[in-house]
């Protein structure tokens, strides 16, 4: 089939390579004409995914209408803060019945919308065609052909199966199905915030015990919010929850963990972000998650302290002290 992949960063490029290598006709869109030209000429995204070679079935373009022309599936891999603008530019070009797959993990800051809500508000027809693709998946490893397992979630499992078939590649890329869009999106977005906390803990030299505690208690916070919003707690025990959380909190390729680690070593947030070529979604998501927790009345102390550190100037060790000296309760509360 013809598949449009919107977003030519590392993740969009990796996913475009997967479906292209599976034999599909792929159009990879990015905002920068010079990057699209470089990909066409060299068959490689040397800026964001160096070393990964694209096959002949992939074509890069900086024109949205060209990318979407005749598309039978649309994959959104644009950073969260750029999705709405992109949708407003191409709303009339998105094919009405094509599955629209979100590979973006985040929450819009002002509206506190997840990606499915942003899509529905700008392109109402996507309410019936939305699929969330999530799970433990570093772009560099996906592009290198290392075994990766993810989940495709849709309220219509027939659509999720279409996505499963498009991306499935024996021994390389395995896709499970889910009907819990809420749980998958909440898990994918909030794990980035917990990864900042885990990275900060490592940067402070707190060791493996502290990291494991942050992962476990972070998962509890994510599950509380997901359930409050109608998600299934079991989803958070799966690929889009625990799987993605462990990867992002422990993997050296994690941009969000890197932000936290460098904070723990004493660098300022502005300095860290100024030296990063790609987006660390967790920084923006921290504010959205904090505001969403307040709106929903969900107790999320780790996210509260990450927010205070990033946005209120709280010293890291003070945040750790406040987390560790809270009144202890029942683990399941």
Q: How many CB atoms lie within 10 A of CB 31?
A: 16
Distance CA 256, CA 214 (A): 14
Residue 328, helix vs strand vs coil: coil
Cβ(281)–Cβ(258) below 8 Å = no
Burial class (CB within 10 angstroms; exposed 0-12, middle 13-18, buried 19+) of 328: exposed
For β-strands 130-134 and 148-153, DSSP reports them as: antiparallel
Longest dimension (CA), the chain: 60
Q: Which residue has the tokens 């800026």?
A: 47
Q: Does 17 qualify as catalytic in the annotation?
A: no
The one catalytic residue in 191, 228, 287, 314 is 191
Distance CA 17, CA 224 (A): 36
Q: Which of 68, 71, 70, 130 is nearest to 99 (CA)?
A: 130
Give the count of alpha carbons within 13 A of 189, CB side only.
Answer: 32
Task: Kindly list the strands in the beta sheet with 173-178, ordered across the sheet, starting from the edge strand earlier in the chain.
Answer: 58-61, 25-29, 2-6, 73-76, 100-102, 130-134, 148-153, 173-178
Q: Which two tokens stand for residue 239?
A: 């690929």
Distance CA 305, CA 299 (A): 12
Q: Which of 169, 251, 161, 238 is nearest to 211 (CA)?
A: 251
Element (H, E) at 101: strand 100-102
Write out the catalytic residue numbers.
Answer: 191
């Amino acid at each position: 089939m013809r598949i449009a992949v919107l977003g030519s960063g590392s993740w969009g490029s990796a996913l475009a390579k997967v479906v292209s290598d599976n034999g599909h006709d792929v159009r990879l869109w990015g905002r920068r004409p010079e990057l699209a030209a470089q990909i066409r000429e060299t068959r490689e995204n040397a800026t964001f995914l160096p070393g990964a070679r694209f096959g002949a079935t992939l074509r890069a373009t900086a024109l949205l209408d060209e990318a979407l022309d005749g598309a039978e599936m649309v994959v959104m891999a644009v950073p969260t803060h750029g999705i709405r603008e992109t949708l407003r530019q191409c709303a009339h070009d998105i094919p009405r019945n094509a599955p629209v797959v979100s590979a973006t993990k985040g929450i819009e800051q002002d509206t506190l919308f997840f990606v499915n809500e942003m899509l529905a508000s700008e392109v109402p027809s996507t309410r019936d065609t939305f699929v969330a693709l999530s799970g433990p998946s570093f772009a560099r490893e996906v592009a290198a052909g290392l075994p990766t397992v993810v989940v495709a979630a849709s309220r219509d499992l027939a659509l999720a199966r279409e996505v499963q078939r498009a991306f499935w590649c024996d021994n390389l890329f395995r896709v499970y199905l889910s009907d819990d869009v809420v749980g998958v999106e909440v898990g994918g977005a909030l794990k980035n915030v917990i990864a900042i906390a885990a990275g900060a803990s490592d940067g402070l030299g707190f060791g493996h015990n502290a990291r494991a505690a942050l992962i476990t208690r972070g998962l509890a916070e994510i599950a509380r919010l997901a359930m409050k919003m109608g998600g299934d707690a079991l989803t958070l025990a799966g690929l889009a929850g625990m799987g993605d959380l462990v990867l992002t909190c422990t993997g050296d390729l994690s941009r969000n963990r890197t932000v936290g680690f460098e904070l723990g070593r004493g660098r300022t947030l502005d300095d860290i972000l100024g030296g990063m070529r790609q987006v660390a979604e967790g920084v923006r998501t921290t504010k959205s998650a904090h505001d969403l927790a307040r709106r929903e009345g969900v107790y999320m102390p780790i996210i509260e302290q990450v927010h205070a550190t990033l946005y209120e100037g709280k010293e890291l060790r003070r945040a750790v002290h406040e987390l560790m000296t809270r009144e202890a309760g029942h683990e399941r509360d």
